Structure 1
Amino acid sequence: MEPELLHGVTDGVATVVLHHPAKRNAMTVAMWEALPPLLDTLAADPGVRALVLTGAGGTFCAGADISTLRVSPEDAQTLAVRAEEALAAFPKPTLAAVKGHCVGGGAQLAAACDLRFAEEDALFGVTPAKLGIVYPSSATRRLVSLVGPATAKYLLYSGELVDAERALRTGLVDEVLPAGGLDERVAEFTGVLLSRSRLTQAAAKEFANGRTDRDAHWAAQARGSGDTAEGVAAFLEGRPPRFSWTASG
C-alpha cells in the first residue's frame, strides 16, 4: 500500500494512523501535507470528542522518509511544522499511542499531542543533530515545556534514543504500559475523557497552551452551560454526570 494517513471515528474517538510500514511509518511529503486538512475535518465533526494518533504495526514513526523528499530541507521542515502546529491546535484532547520507535518527526508529532502513552519497549529520539538540521523554534519550545531545558538539550545535542522509562521520568511520556497493554489502556482512558466535561477540557487546553486573554470568555461559557450545576448535582446524587456543553453552544 502507498504511504498514507488512515483514520476512523468510533464511539466519539477519532484515530489517525501513520501508515508507511515499509519505512517504520516515516512521514512522506504527502503525509505531512495531508495531516492539517484531515485534522480540520475531524475538529469540525461534532461527533469527535478526542483524537488518538498512532502508527501502523509495531512502531509509531521513524521520522521523515528522506528518500521521498522532493523539496528542499527548509520546505520539508515547513511542512513538518505546519503538521505539528495543526495537531497542537486541535481543539479536543489528543493522545499519542506509541509503540516501537518514536523518532525525529515522529517525536515532533507526539510532543504536539496533549498526552503520550507508550509501551515499555518504545524508544524516543529527537535527532536533528545527526543530520545537521536546525530544529524549529516552535518544536524546541514545546519540547522544553514537556521535559525542561536540561533534558531537551540532552535530546537535541546528542540525538540519542531514550527508553520509555526514562521518557516517563523526564515527562516526555505520561504512562508506560507493559507489552500488549497499550491499546486496552488507551481505549479505557479515552472512555474516561469522554465522560468528563467538554467545557473543562476546552478551557484547560487553551490555558495550558498559553492563552491568557480568555478568562472572561470561559467564565461566560461556564455560566451559560449548566455543566457546573450538573456536576455538583451528580456528585451529591451519586450518579454519573450528564454534561451538555458543546463548542457550538
Structure 2
Amino acid sequence: MFSQTSKEVSYSATNGRAYITFERPEKRNALTYEMFNQMMAYIRQAEEDDDVRIIIFRAEGDHFSAGHDLSQVGKEYGFDPSGKGRRPSQRARLHWDKHHIEQFRNICFCVKPTLGLIKGYCVGAGLHLIEACDFAIADETAKIGHPEQKMGLAGAAYMTTWNIVASGPKKAREILMLGDILTPAAAMDAGFVNKVVPRGELDSAGEEWAEKIVRLPRDAVAFGKAAFHLAYDSLGMNTQFVQGYVMHALSTNIRFEEDEMNFMREKRDKGVAAAAKDREDRYKNPSE
C-alpha cells in the first residue's frame, strides 16, 4: 500500500485501487487551484503505476465538493481586488482557461477507469470533475448542479458538449441556464450519475464496482478506454476542450448593467459569503 498527502488532497493506492481524496471538509471541499494541480500529479502517478486498475475520487466530510473556491475566482486572471486597476487582457483569460480545461481533459482522457463517489454538494467544478469521470455513484444526500452558471455564464461551460450528449440539448440548456440543484434521482435521469444508494452505503457501493473492474484484464481495460476516446472524437466531443476555454474566457468578460447581478463586484464590496447569498437570493422562485 502506498499513501501520500499534500495540503488538502491525499493519495493512496492499494489492491488495484488509487484513491484521490479531498480533505477540506470545513470548506465543503471547495477546490483551490493548488488542489487541482496536486490532483493532476496524483493522476499521473496512478497512470504510471501498473498495479493501479481504477482511480476513485472521494471526499472527507459530508460533501464531495462545493466547486471552485470562490475566494480565488477572478484572481487567476489577474483582477485587481480593489477594482481600480486595468482589466485583465483577453490573452490572460485565454491562457488560464486553456490550462484549466486541460485539467478536466486529463481526467476525461485518463488511461485508467475513473469513479466518483458523490455525497452532499457536488456543484460547479466538483460536477465538472464528475462529468469527466467514467462512472459516478451518488448517495441520497447528493445535491448536484451548476449554480455557478448564475454568475454570468448561462451556458458557457467547460463540458457543454458532454452535457448535451448526456442529457439531450433541451435538458442540458435547462441545467446550465437555470442553475438549479438536482436531486440524486433527477441527476441519474439526466445522465450525471450511474447509481444512487442509501446514505452510509456509498463507500461499499464504490468498492463493489471497483472490485469488478480490478478483476478485468489490464490490456482489455486499456483498449476499452481507448475505444471510448476514439468514439468521443468521432462524435466531435473533443472540440469541447477548445470551445470550452474560449467561451469561458469570453463569458467572464461580459458587461454587467446596473440592474444586473455582478458577482465579482458583490464579492469585492461584501465578501464571498454575502455575494454567494445575494446570487442565490436573486434567482429564488418568487413563490418560495
TM range (shorter): 0.7 to 0.9
Q: Which residue of 2 aligns with 1:71?
A: 76
Contact 1:129 1:158 (C-alpha < 8 Å) held by counterparts: yes
1:83 counterpart residue number: 103
Q: Matches of 2:134 and 2:171 in 1, distance apart?
A: 19
Report how far residue 188 of structure 1 moved.
1.2
TM-score normalised by structure 2 residue count: 0.68
Query: Aligned to 1:202, which of 203, 213, 222?
Result: 222
Q: Deviations over 1:77-133 (max 9, x none)?
A: 445412211111110111000011100000000110000000011011113321113
SS of equivalent residue, structure 2 residue 52: coil
Query: Which residue number in structure 2 is paired with residue 48 of structure 1?
Result: 52
Pair 1:25-2:29 in alignment: yes
Aligned to 1:225: none
| 2:192 paired residue among 172, 191, 204 | 172
Summarize deviations over 1:17-76 as a string: whole Å, max 9, x none: 122212100111211222222211110011111010112211101000011343228466
Instruction: Kindly indicate whether residue 97 of structure 2 is the aligned counterpart of residue 99 of structure 1.
Output: no
1:5 and 2:9 are equivalent in the alignment: yes
Identity of aligned pairs, percent? 28
Q: Assess if the C-alpha contact under 8 Å between 2:154 and 2:178 holds in 1.
A: no
Instruction: Tell me the TM-score normalised to structure 1 length.
Output: 0.78
Does the 8 Å CA contact 1:9/1:15 hold for their aligned counterparts?
A: yes
Write the letter of the residue equivalent to 1:18.
F
Tell me how far 1:145 sits from its aligned partner: 2.3
- Equivalent position of 1:125 in the other structure: 145
Contact 1:62–1:102 under 8 Å retained in 2: yes
Seen in structure 2, the aligned counterparts of structure 1 residues 26 and 199 have a Cα distance that, compared at 3 Å, is same
SS in 2 for 1:41: helix
Q: Secondary structure at the match of 1:54?
A: strand
Aligned equivalent of 1:144, options 160, 164, 188: 164
Q: Which region of structure 1 is more displaced relative to structure 2, 86-95 or 123-132?
A: 123-132
Q: How far apart are the structure 2 equivalents of 1:142 and 1:84?
A: 12
Worse-matched range after superposition: 28-37 or 154-163: 28-37
Shift of the 44–136 alpha-carbon distance from structure 1 to 2, 3 Å rule, reads farther
Instruction: Give SS of 2:9's match.
Output: strand
Between 1 and 2, higher relative CO (CA 8 Å, sep ≥ 6) is seen in 2
Per the alignment, do residues 32 and 138 of structure 1 end up closer, same or farther by CA in structure 2, a change over 3 Å counting? same
What one-letter code is carried by the residue in structure 1 that aligns with 2:215?
A: S
Unaligned runs of 5+ in 2: 80-92, 234-288
Conserved in 2, the CA contact under 8 Å of 1:9 and 1:48?
Answer: yes
Shift of 1:156: 0.4
